[in-house]
Amino acid sequence: MLKLFTIKMKKILTLSLLTIAFVGCEQKKETTPEIAKVDYAVFGDSISSEGALSNAEMMEKFKSLKEGDTLEVKFKSGINEVCQKKGCWMTLDLADDKEAFVKFKDYGFFVPKNAQDKEVIVNGKAFVSVESVDVLKHYAKDAGKSQAAIDSIVEPKVTYSFMANGVLIAK
């Protein structure tokens, strides 16, 4: 009788420990925050969000480039400005109050003109370029800048440039 009682107690104890372990795992699962999945609209080539550098990491890559260098890369940032004529270019936030000027490969696609302030992932070629006064004035006009702002452009500018073949914009 004592042996039967001992076997039943072992079973009850084992079942109790398994239940406690199971409930403990369930409680831990509930307190672990889920990683938010962002839904993206795709423009140009279909790309994934995986492996994208941060805007600060991208800034470090730009600093290492010289005029004529190119770097195939993917990075994530915020959109500062979009061409208000067609959506044919955009500027993205980089670290240190700098921006990347993004155009689209072969003028093959555009982004929505109302995409400003949205999260974006771009894939393509990064390079440093020197933009002429005429080109800078053209971009200022496309951006809807005032004539006084356009007239204030009087010297070329070193630009962190990007030719995107694929773009993801958070919906």
For residue range 114-167, what is the model confidence (pLDDT) as tens digits? 999 999 999 999 999 888 999 999 989 988 899 999 999 999 988 999 999 999
pLDDT digits (tens, 9 = 90+) for 14-37: 655 545 555 555 444 444 445 568
Name the token pair of 26. Answer: 């369930």
For 62, counting Cβ atoms within 10 Å of its Cβ (0-12 exposed, 13-18 middle, 19+ buried), the class is buried
Tell me the whole-structure pTM to 2 decimals: 0.71
- Is 41's pLDDT higher than 60? yes
pLDDT at 27: 43
**Long-range contacts from 50-58, C-beta under 8 angstroms, 24+ separation:** 52/76, 52/121, 55/92, 55/93, 55/94, 55/95, 56/94, 56/95, 58/94, 58/100, 58/126
pLDDT at 108: 96
Name the token pair of 7. Answer: 């076997």
Q: Which of 80, 62, 81, 79 is nearest to 162 (CA)?
A: 62
Q: Count CB atoms within 10 A of the CB of residue 61.
A: 15
Residue 130 vs residue 89, higher pLDDT = 89
End-to-end CA distance of the chain: 69
pLDDT at 158: 86
